[in-house]
């Protein structure tokens, strides 16, 4: 199993985003987590679909979420192994390397990075729209 935990939201609410009440902050966080899960499923390599279906998000506390991929081979797809070469530099989500061997396909980190890039838009929506 591999996963990530979203933390530090209470600190951000007390700091920069203190103008947002807890309810809106929760909505903002929920939207960001939902977008990340959607992108993870989009980027996930699919053979049987088991790994894609095992991607779940859990609310573990107030302003705290965890995203889990509950299959034992998820971390091999995310980080690779000694026998899985790095994918093409031109296409990091590529399935094969230059040698024709199956390359690892990260799907969690690209989804998280993409959501982080979209955070200003998500925050703007939480501030100005209900």
Domain ranges across the chain: 2-128
Q: Report the pLDDT value the prediction gives residue 54, as an integer from 0 to 100.
A: 93
Q: What is the pTM of this model?
A: 0.73
Q: What would the pLDDT profile of 87-102 be if each residue is shown by its tens digit?
A: 544 444 545 555 555 5
Residue 18 has pLDDT above 90, yes or no: no
Question: Starting from the edge strand earliest in sequence, which strands make up the sheet with 64-69, in order?
Answer: 2-6, 64-69, 55-61
Residue 127 has pLDDT above 60, yes or no: yes
Distance of CA 63 to the CA centre of its chain: 16
Burial of residue 90, with CB atoms counted within 10 A of its CB: 0-12 exposed, 13-18 middle, 19 or more buried: exposed
Q: What would the pLDDT profile of 41-68 be if each residue is shown by its tens digit?
A: 998 888 888 999 999 999 888 778 899 9
């Amino acid at each position: 199993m591999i996963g990530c935990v979203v933390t530090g939201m209470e600190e951000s609410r007390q700091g920069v985003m203190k103008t947002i009440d807890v309810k809106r902050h929760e909505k903002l966080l929920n939207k960001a987590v939902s977008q990340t899960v959607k992108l993870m499923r989009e980027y996930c390599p699919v053979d049987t679909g088991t790994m894609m279906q095992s991607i779940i998000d859990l609310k573990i506390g107030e302003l705290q979420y965890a995203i889990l991929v509950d299959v034992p081979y998820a971390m091999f797809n995310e980080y690779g192994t000694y026998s899985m070469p790095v994918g093409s530099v031109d296409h990091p989500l590529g399935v094969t390397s230059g040698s024709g061997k199956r390359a690892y396909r990260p799907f969690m980190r690209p989804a998280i990075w993409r959501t982080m890039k979209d955070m200003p838009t998500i925050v703007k929506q939480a501030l100005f729209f209900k």
